[in-house]
A and B are shown apart, each in its own frame.
Chain A
Amino acid sequence: MPKSLTPRLEALRDEIHGYAKEFGLDFFDTIFEMVSYDEMNMVAAYGGFPTRYPHWRWGMEYEQLAKGYEYGLSKIYELVINNDPCYAYLMESNPEVDQKLVMAHVYGHCDFFKNNFSFRHTNRRMIDDMANHATRVRRWIDKIGVEKVEDFIDRTLSLENLIDQHAPHIRRNPDPKKAEEEVKANERVEGFKVDREYMRGFINPSEFLDSQRKRVEDEKQRAKKFPERPQRDVLLFLLEHAPLEPWESDILAILRDEAYYFAPQGQTKIMNEGWASYWHSTIMTRRALKDDEIIDYADHHSGTMGTRPGAINPYKLGIELWRDIEDRWNKGRFGKEWDECDDLRARRSWDKKLGAGREKIFEVRKHYNDITFIDTFLTPEFAMEQKLFVYGFNDKRNSWEILDREFRKVKSKLLQGLTNFGQPIIEVVDGNHENRAELLLAHKHDGQDLKGDYARETLRNLQSLWRRPVNIVTRYDNKSVMLRFDGTTHSEKKVEL
């Protein structure tokens, strides 16, 4: 069970809190709890939350974390929840210097959660809502049975990434106005109000009623061409149009809620981790560190910043970019004059002594997400200093290799990996495909093919929710194909677009 802080740690927390405020960080109240390493693994398996709905994959996550810890491969240092108040966890067995570092890091995250625009619409009472979700799912389990509910969750999770990552807010119900009109249209078929029964035939002659009925029917038919525009929020579309049982709708809505809650964290990983790292390092080295703690701090910090050739470490890339921005705005290395300067020597010694760096980074942390952050602030100099490169798979040598160090390619590859959170963009195109109530999705192909076996399995899961055949148009090897699952068999055919 988590414990509150010892008086000693409380004093440290107050100290770090003071530094964070002094540097201008602005955050919700932050509550630290002490946990054992095992509890840390549990909370981490739940994505930081003390309670989640029951599902085996948390157990899988937990097993992997626990193993990683046992084998000494990985250790979770920090966990913060975007909530008001923020919750964060400290591991009992850590030395004091680590606790300070983690606290400083956590305040960085909390500042980011509170101020970055991507989080503006997130639910700040998510801890409570997660607990409510858990209760609701448990109730359904009691009523429907664990197998069925778990099975449905498995299928829905398979579609979890099919949300509109950039939707500013969640629209849970269909447009109420439209629904009202529908009701009106149905009323119209009953004809005008009749006070005297013997007048009915005159007021509402049957030809009139028939023509009305026909019109409504036609309208419905036309409305069946839905959605009117391609819809990115596939989960919402299913929620509104799939023939789901009430319990299924409820669970789908829960999972969709949670997916939206986590979406901004996926969109700001580099910024957010970089920001927190920037602040732990600033607070520690400028204020909090004691002489005899330097080595342990440096050891821990460099461990977090470690890179390996085939991956981007968001902590490392993030902190370096923040520092680079601060440095450039301190020295005035931006704007027309800077851009147009070709003299290498002048560029190298460029320092306008603007000192605007701190202010700039605070502004940037408000208005950007990873994509716009990288797009705006990644410079050729930076990419070279940080030794960034593009890698790819060489089929002939059956290994990964460095493909390119050219700035443009590095940047576009980096952005590509961040677009839609590195996930393919998929939309609902037609919910009444071929006028047979089949579902048609389209993959907006951007040069990368879908993973075939995964796509087929996902279609299978989608079909089980839609209950009619489902199709997706995508491209394989530069040819448009339509993958189809009709409930029993998979098929594939070429299509002309």
Chain B
Amino acid sequence: MTLKIHQDHSRFKQIVRGKIKANLRKYVQKGEMLGKKGKDAISIPIPFIDIPRFKYGHKEQGGVGQGDGEVGQQLGPGAVEPGEGQQAGQGEGDHALEVDVTLDELAQILGEELQLPNIERRQNEKIVTQKIRYTGINTTGPESLRHFKRTYKQALRRQIAAGTYDPNRPIIVPMREDRRYRSYKLQNLPETNAVIIYMMDVSGSMGDEQKEIVRIESFWLDTWLRHQYKGLESRYIIHDAVAREVDRDTFFHTRESGGTMISSAYKLCRDIILADYPKSAWNIYPFHFSDGDNWSADDTRQCIDMLRNDVLPNVNQFAYGQVESPYGSGQFIKDLREAVGDATNVALSEIADKDAIYASIKDFLGKGR
């Protein structure tokens, strides 16, 4: 048997890649991939990769099934063969085939398409982490790893052998000796670690539209940096006049009113870095998004001082994204540009709308730092 399928497989992947590349700008702007993200992969609808035929729409057709239920009873989701017009929707959209692409591949495609340079790692020290690999079945182990099915099979087997199994009253009681457990091995994986510290202004002037832009953009930043570093942590800071650290979900869904003191966020960011991420072991990426309104010139001055003295010397790159909003003056980016715009590890980007995300990603990641 020749293993020519590998050629066909890579050809398939190449085609998928081509389609994704061709549609990348659309994917980036729409943010439609965010909802389809799994743990390491994302399922992307690829138009026209399957082979069109003269055929019936399944919805039109219906079919014969098997099982209990009254006439009129709904069949549960997933009961009917998937893929054929289950979701309402007409026209070309129906035609798409969902393809799983790993985030790593997606990052590669993003990198090729935007011509992003690989990041020069500031810290090359390897930190070793351990990963669990499940390798087999054992008769001992922690309860949390008990293999339910194997255990019951073993018990059923024993009961039948002992003649205590009654098919009319099929009750199976596993005993100590029946229990089966997954066994595992620990593997050492070397890692280069990096942390992204996201900061966002959630004061009243940042609307849903602006936050959506931040959400989409951060997805791509995450994806790229995760591709570059094996171990990536993320921290989230929201601020209006005061700053606090939150989880990812809160980060994207909080809306406060009140004024804006950006310095509060930078202060917290600095504290987090000092406390948890020694420069010697971590590649550090603070990203800050706001609409460019700050409370006072005085606060802006504080921000710049803090950036110069505490943040920039410690991080790979500091990035500021200014999302246009109808309420903001958009002053902050100008101040930053004037004060630290020349620094090599500062990236500034103005994001007018969703269409601008594509270019903005390049602003942030194009320096390869």
A interface vs B, CB < 8 Å?
A: 1-2, 35, 39, 42-43, 45-46, 50-52, 54-60, 62-63, 67, 134, 150, 154, 157-162, 291-292, 294-296, 299, 307-313, 316-317, 386-394, 397-405, 410, 413-414, 417, 422-424, 426, 443, 448-455, 457-458, 461, 472
Cβ-defined contact, B13 with A423, below 8 A? no
Contact status of A450 and B4, CB under 8 A, knowing A389-B69, A391-B62, A391-B80: no
Residues of B in contact (CB 8 Å), total 59
Cβ-defined contact, B74 with A451, below 8 A? no
Contact of B80 among A54, A161, A400, A404 (CB under 8 A): A400
Across-interface contacts of A67 in B (CB, < 8 A): 100
Q: Considering the chains assembled together, what is the distance between the CA atoms of A58 and B153 in angstroms?
A: 37
B34-68: CB near A (< 8 Å → 1, else 0) gives 00000000000000110111111101111111111
Across-interface contacts of B64 in A (CB, < 8 A): 312, 388-391, 410, 413-414, 417
**B71 interface residue per 8 A CB criterion:** yes
Across-interface contacts of A43 in B (CB, < 8 A): 1
Across-interface contacts of B67 in A (CB, < 8 A): 307-309, 387, 389
Contact status of A457 and B95, CB under 8 A, knowing A59-B11, A309-B65, A450-B54: yes
Across-interface contacts of B14 in A (CB, < 8 A): 56
Most B Cβ at <10 Å: residue of A52, A60, A134: A60
Q: Considering only CB atoms, which chain A residue lies closest to B154 in the complex?
A: A295
Q: What is the distance, in angstroms, from A367's C-beta to the closest C-beta of chain B?
A: 24
**B338 interface residue per 8 A CB criterion:** no
Across-interface contacts of B94 in A (CB, < 8 A): 451, 453
Cβ-defined contact, B59 with A393, below 8 A? yes
Contact status of A59 and B65, CB under 8 A, knowing A294-B160, A451-B85: no
Cβ-defined contact, B12 with A400, below 8 A? no
Q: Considering the chains assembled together, what is the distance between the CA atoms of A450 and B1 in angstroms?
A: 40
Q: Considering the chains assembled together, what is the distance between the CA atoms of A243 and B56 in angstroms?
A: 29
Q: Considering the chains assembled together, what is the distance between the CA atoms of A327 and B4 in angstroms?
A: 48
**B5 interface residue per 8 A CB criterion:** yes
Cβ-defined contact, B60 with A388, below 8 A? no
Q: Considering the chains assembled together, what is the distance between the CA atoms of A457 and B48 in angstroms?
A: 9
Q: Considering only CB atoms, which chain B residue lies closest to A296 in the complex?
A: B153
Q: Considering the chains assembled together, what is the distance between the CA atoms of A316 and B54 in angstroms?
A: 29
Q: What is the distance, in angstroms, from A342's C-beta to the closest C-beta of chain B?
A: 26
**B73 interface residue per 8 A CB criterion:** yes
Contact status of A54 and B73, CB under 8 A, knowing A307-B67, A402-B65, A424-B55: no
Across-interface contacts of A451 in B (CB, < 8 A): 55-57, 60, 85, 94
Across-interface contacts of A400 in B (CB, < 8 A): 62, 74-75, 79-80
Q: Considering the chains assembled together, what is the distance between the CA atoms of A403 and B63 in angstroms?
A: 10
Across-interface contacts of B90 in A (CB, < 8 A): 452
Q: Considering the chains assembled together, what is the distance between the CA atoms of A123 and B173 in angstroms?
A: 54
Q: What is the distance, in angstroms, from B93's C-beta to the closest C-beta of chain A?
A: 9
Contact of B52 among A57, A413, A461 (CB under 8 A): A461
Cβ-defined contact, A388 with B65, below 8 A? yes
Q: Considering only CB atoms, which chain B residue lies closest to A457 in the complex?
A: B52
Cβ-defined contact, B160 with A295, below 8 A? yes
Across-interface contacts of A59 in B (CB, < 8 A): 5, 7-13
**6 residue pairs, one from A and one from B, having the closest CB atoms:** A59-B12, A310-B80, A457-B52, A392-B62, A59-B9, A310-B79
B74-101: CB near A (< 8 Å → 1, else 0) gives 1111111100010010111011000010
Q: Considering the chains assembled together, what is the distance between the CA atoms of A154 and B161 in angstroms?
A: 57
Contact of B69 among A154, A402, A417, A423 (CB under 8 A): A402
Q: Considering the chains assembled together, what is the distance between the CA atoms of A282 and B80 in angstroms?
A: 31
**B132 interface residue per 8 A CB criterion:** no
Cβ-defined contact, B11 with A158, below 8 A? no
Across-interface contacts of B15 in A (CB, < 8 A): 56
Across-interface contacts of B326 in A (CB, < 8 A): none
**B3 interface residue per 8 A CB criterion:** yes
Q: What is the distance, in angstroms, from A98's C-beta to the closest C-beta of chain B?
A: 14
Contact status of A311 and B4, CB under 8 A, knowing A295-B156, A402-B65, A443-B54: no
Q: What is the distance, in angstroms, from A155's C-beta to the closest C-beta of chain B?
A: 9
